[in-house]
Amino acid sequence: MGSVPPAMALCLLLSLNLLATATAAAESRVNKSSTGGILWATANGDSDILAVIDPNGDNVAGGDASDFTGGFSSLEGMLQWAIGHSDVEKLKEKANNVQRSSPAELQQRQLKLKELMEKLKMPSDAELMKVAIDDLSNYSISLEDRQRALNELLILVEDIDNANDLDKLGGLVAVIRELDNSEPEIRITSAWILGTASQNNAPVQNQVLSLGVLVRLMNMAKSSSIEEAIKALFAISSLIRNNERGQELFYSESGHLILQDIMSNIASGIKLQKKAASLVADLADYQKHNACGTKHSPINDRHFLKSLVDLTSSNNLGLLEKALLAVKSLLELPSTDAFDFRDFCGFEEVLERIKEQLEEKMKENGAYAEELESLRREIQTIFRRKLDEVSWVPT
């Protein structure tokens, strides 16, 4: 009969007892979420991977990871606590029993411990992503399960490493396919995922662009559904920001006209117009910082400029700010024509009107209105300098 060292016997005994307790606690929570989160499981119910997605964005398997160990950061900490809160004599007696165990009995206990550890093992993000992607590829699942899978991916791709893994797991193809779904909410979430994964992530930008999705998103940006248009424009912005290839494709497909229509149409709504103005600023800034500011660009067109300048008539200070920032970026481009601003857009009068508007707003919006007035004065200085440069005739 083999002999088991006392320390090993005690550790094995405590591990079995505590892991059994933790497993029971975990299993009792498998189908419950006190936060009202999303239960994470495959649509066909054949996976052991479960998680709760908190509405605030936190996701863990079966709840908080510390729940599995009673709030302890590790199994070692849990064992130390257990030793300090156990009946020492009873532990010694049980440890002696383990010491007298045969090799077969000891092996059985070790297998049980391994089994319990497997039950408590948290799935990796890659495993969770694969579950969601497999669900999207299952054409027989319900609309509710399809939406749930997309919601799970949306949370996971906020992490840049997960976003980088999305394509090799087949996730990009699966998500892009959902852009053609007849259900608006499915299309909206799919565009949202693409935008989130591509944001400030050049490798994913290029992966998505190579799959030819930009044109599809541009069509969605013209949707009569404001929410769908907003998420599509968010995805477009994420894809082409600081990406020369993406911007070339955007212009070649007349993307600037989509922005112009959004800015010119009051029915677009403030949120969509703010996103359009922000994208204009991004496009202008890219030109300015990449040695292409002297080249003619569709966003230098006088009609395009006027649609942007006209946004400054809004009473919404948030939209006014986005419009002013975009105007500032365009004024700083050598390729924009100061006379187009002055003569076609009536920019001198616009600046005076904004000044009066902000003076009124200062009564209720104090500091914010003052910040916008400071921005207005800065723009006025840039505009007048630009006018002086083209008006000055050497003698």
Provide the b/e sequence for 339-358 (b: ≥16 CB within 10 Å): ebbbeebebeebbeebeebb
Query: Which tokens is 5 given?
Result: 């060292």
Residues 151/196, Cβ–Cβ less than 8 Å:
no
Give me the residues paired with residue 53 across strands. Answer: 38, 59
Task: Return the biggest CA–CA distance within the chain.
Answer: 110
Percent of the chain, pLDDT > 90?
Answer: 63
Rounded (10°) CA dihedral 280, 283, 284, 286: 160
Query: Which tokens is 268 given?
Result: 């677009």
**pLDDT of 163 higher than 60:** yes
- Mean pLDDT in residue range 155-174: 97
Give me the residues paired with residue 40 across strands. Answer: 51
Residues 6+ apart with CB under 8 A from 65: 122
At 60 the pLDDT is: 40
Query: For the sheet containing 59-60, what is the strand order?
Result: 38-40, 51-53, 59-60
Q: Give the number of other Cβ atoms within 10 Å of residue 320's Cβ.
A: 24
On average, the pLDDT of the chain sits at 82
Helix count (H) and strand count (E) of the chain?
Answer: 19, 3
At 123 the pLDDT is: 83
**pLDDT of 221 higher than 80:** yes
**pLDDT of 184 higher than 60:** yes
Query: Which tokens is 216 given?
Result: 């599809």
- Mean pLDDT in residue range 366-378: 96
Interatomic CA distance for residues 79 and 81, integer angstroms? 5
- Mean pLDDT in residue range 149-159: 97
Q: Which of 372, 336, 344 is nearest to 356 (CA)?
A: 372
- Mean pLDDT in residue range 115-123: 71
Residues 6+ apart with CB under 8 A from 185: 147
Interatomic CA distance for residues 135 and 145, integer angstroms? 8
| Residues 233-256: tens digit of each pLDDT | 999 999 999 999 999 999 999 999
36 vs 143 pLDDT, higher one: 143
| Residues 250-292: tens digit of each pLDDT | 999 999 999 999 999 999 999 999 999 999 999 999 999 986 6
Interatomic CA distance for residues 88 and 42, integer angstroms? 45
Element (H, E) at 370: helix 347-391
Q: What CATH class is the domain 124-253?
A: mainly alpha
At 333 the pLDDT is: 95
pTM: 0.73
At 66 the pLDDT is: 42
